[in-house]
Amino acid sequence: MLGASQADRRLLPEGRLAGPMPWVIAIMMFLTALAAAAGLAMGDAAHRLGGDLGRQVTVQIVAGDPALRDHETDAVQRVLGREEGVAGFHKLGGDEMQALLRPWLGDAGLDRDLPLPAMIDVDLTAAGRARLDRIAGALTAAAPHARIDDHAAWLAPLVGLIRSLGLLAGGIVTLMVGATAAAVVLAARSALNTHRQTIDVMHMMGSTDVQVARLFQRRLALDALFGAIVGLIGAIIVILGIGRRLGEIGSGLVGSIALPWTAWVALLALPLLAGLLALAVARLTVQRALARTL
Amino acid sequence: MAGIVQFENVGLRYGTGAETLSDLSFSLAQGSFYFLTGPSGAGKTSLLKMLYLSQRPSRGSIRLFGEDVVQLRRARLPGFRRRIGVVFQDFRLIPHLSAFDNIALPLRIAGVDERDLVTPVREMLAWVGLADRASARPPTLSGGEQQRVAIARAVIGRPEILVADEPTGNVDPEMAARLLHLFDALNTLGTTIVVATHDIHLLSRVASANVMRLDRGQLHDPTGALRHPPGGGEAYA
């Protein structure tokens, strides 16, 4: 039957069918892969910021009297030890405090007599995050000079921004999919016009629309697949380059923007999806065009 | 014999102009041979187009193989077209396919296995005298050779109706005689043949042939063969 054998494939001339379409799709796949990678990385970062980092709080005991500060620090640690929803806590030692302050004050500013608050990093469970108010109430009851610094409060705008950028990337990917489909439609129509005589002859000999569509859909899908692979290779080179630059920055927040392996799988599947999209769009376009003829 | 083709009050109009064909009513008997004659512009090709389902009439009814094909759903047309062989006036060979592949096309469309089509295609090539040009592509063939490939392609599927539009227009008299002999042989096997030609010398080459004459869109029936059952020799329409 038409659509399977080498002889049937010869019904259309050798060579690519769709003119510049593969290169148009290569460019669109390049941009799509970049947008998809950005969206996937942003989504992952937003998930992690809203998850692990969003469940961290820092308790500061800002008492000026060192004895009172030590007393309240002990009280805070006792409360944290018995409260539900506290996954763990860690009191920052003197060296850690100096490491935190050194970028701001320099070595000269690290006076041993400088009154510094005691700081305790606390990791909460998801349930603990939900009952943070109660934990905070217990802490301030036991240590009136305790201040609760909720990381989620200052991360929220950043997470919101990252999520918005992720959605924007998703929107761009959607537009690119539409543009790819439009390119295939134009290529299919052009191919139909170019091979009108062959199609007419086939029709007059009893070819069905499906038989004719098979010839075009296969060729257009292969052309699209070729363009998509070229575009994806270009995009992967750029993504790896950007990832390397982000790693060199060394910032915790920036470093949280990374592509998980699932995102790589999704990116590598894009050419196949582009090929399948081209196949479906070409089939529909050809069949619709043929339906307007006798 | 049953009427394999029946036209009833068929008219054909392109766009908003006057009718190209008017009030065509005739019936073609199964297994008969017809010549369709008339001057250029008389509407021969338009009539043939309706016959091989490339054109719907503007009015009237056309029945092929006992079914009304004017109202036929598109999806059913391929089945009817596979029963009709067509030799186009301009051959319409696919230029990038070899003579072999052009002739094999109807069989492939019909789903014949590759192993089963080699022998009939080679026999057909030999029959039209092109056994040694099987791999030649149409642009490298002469006009006469292209016409023979077109004829071979039209008859390879043993159609029930063969429609040929000026099939001898580009061949020498000897080849024209051979082609007509070929059509006559097909006719004796039961194929209904309709050959459009303005070469009046052809008409006497097939003894059993009936003649349909088109003039300014009107069909005339000098032999009376278009009545069904065939009658006298008066103009029919």
pLDDT at B2 over 80: no
Mean pLDDT to the nearest integer, A14-41: 83
B137 and chain A: CB distance < 8 Å anywhere? no
ipTM higher than 0.90?
no
Residue A112, phi then psi, degrees to nearest 5: -60, -25
Across A3-7, A104-108, A140-144, B217-221, least confident range: A3-7
pLDDT in tens, A164-221: 888 898 899 899 999 989 988 998 888 888 888 888 899 899 999 998 888 888 888 9
pLDDT in tens, B60-99: 999 999 899 898 888 899 999 999 999 988 889 999 899 9
Mean pLDDT to the nearest integer, B6-26: 88
What is the domain partition of chain A in residue ranges?
A: 2-50+158-293, 63-144
**Residue B81 with chain A: CB contacts under 8 Å:** 203-206
Mean pLDDT to the nearest integer, A33-57: 82
Which residue, among B12, B50, B76, B108, would best test binding to A if mutated, counting the most A CBs under 10 Å from its CB?
Answer: B108
Mean pLDDT to the nearest integer, B128-136: 92
In chain B, whose CA is at the least distance from the CA of A195? B94
**Residue A201 with chain B: CB contacts under 8 Å:** 92, 94, 105
pLDDT at residue B143, rounded to an integer: 83
* pLDDT above 70 coverage of chain A, percent: 89
Nearest-CA distance A183 → chain B (Å): 26
pLDDT at residue A242, rounded to an integer: 87
pLDDT in tens, B27-62: 888 899 999 988 888 888 899 999 999 999 999 999
pLDDT in tens, A95-109: 888 787 777 777 766
Which residue, among B94, B161, B163, would best test binding to A if mutated, counting the most A CBs under 10 Å from its CB?
Answer: B94
pLDDT at residue A109, rounded to an integer: 64
**Residue B101 with chain A: CB contacts under 8 Å:** 7, 10
Structure tokens belonging to residue A95: 């060296």
pLDDT at residue B154, rounded to an integer: 92
pLDDT at residue A20, rounded to an integer: 82
Across A56-65, A248-257, B100-109, least confident range: A248-257
Closest by Cβ to B101, choosing from A7, A14, A207? A7
**pLDDT band of A18, cuts 50, 70, 90:** low
**Residue B55 with chain A: CB contacts under 8 Å:** 294
As to burial, measured by CB atoms within 10 angstroms (0-12 exposed, 13-18 middle, 19+ buried), residue B174 is exposed
**Residue A15 with chain B: CB contacts under 8 Å:** none
Closest by Cβ to B86, choosing from A8, A11, A204? A204
C-alpha span between B145 and A271 (Å, rounded) = 46
pLDDT at residue B193, rounded to an integer: 93
**Residue A197 with chain B: CB contacts under 8 Å:** 92, 94
Nearest-CA distance B88 → chain A (Å): 10
pLDDT at residue B199, rounded to an integer: 78
Across A3-7, A9-13, A17-21, B11-15, least confident range: A3-7
C-alpha span between B149 and B99 (Å, rounded) = 6
pLDDT at residue A2, rounded to an integer: 41
pLDDT at A112 over 70: no
Nearest-CA distance A181 → chain B (Å): 27
Across A1-5, A83-87, A275-279, least confident range: A1-5
pLDDT in tens, A240-285: 898 888 777 766 566 666 788 888 999 999 999 999 999 999 999 9
Closest by Cβ to A205, choosing from B55, B97, B106? B106
Closest by Cβ to B110, choosing from A11, A201, A206? A206
Closest by Cβ to A11, choosing from B53, B94, B157? B94
In chain B, whose CA is at the least distance from the CA of A211? B109
B106 and chain A: CB distance < 8 Å anywhere? yes
pLDDT at residue A1, rounded to an integer: 42
pLDDT at residue B227, rounded to an integer: 54
Count interface pairs A-B at CB distance under 8 A: 64
pLDDT at residue B167, rounded to an integer: 84
Nearest-CA distance A1 → chain B (Å): 5
**pLDDT band of A8, cuts 50, 70, 90:** low
pLDDT at A16 over 70: no
Name the average pLDDT for chain B.
85
In chain B, whose CA is at the least distance from the CA of A14? B96
**Residue B58 with chain A: CB contacts under 8 Å:** none
SS (H, E, C) chain A: CCCCCHHHHCCCCCCCCCCCHHHHHHHHHHHHHHHHHHHHHHHHHHHHHHHCHHHEEEEEECCCCHHHHHHHHHHHHHHHHHCCCEEEEEECCHHHHHHHHHHHHCHHHCCCCCCCCEEEEEEECHHHHHCHHHHHHHHHHHCCCEEEEEHHHHHHHHHHHHHHHHHHHHHHHHHHHHHHHHHHHHHHHHHHHHCHHHHHHHHHCCCCHHHHHHHHHHHHHHHHHHHHHHHHHHHHHHHHHHHHHHHHHCCHHHHCCCCCHHHHHHHHHHHHHHHHHHHHHHHHHHHHHHHCCC
Whether the Cβ atoms of residue A217 and residue A271 lie closer than 8 Å to each other: no
| Residues pairing with A148 in the sheet | A59
pLDDT at A82 over 90: no
CB contact under 8 A, A201 and B105: yes
pLDDT in tens, B204-235: 777 788 888 888 888 876 556 665 444 444 43
**Residue B121 with chain A: CB contacts under 8 Å:** none
CB contact under 8 A, B56 and A294: yes
**pLDDT band of A115, cuts 50, 70, 90:** confident
Name the average pLDDT for chain A.
84
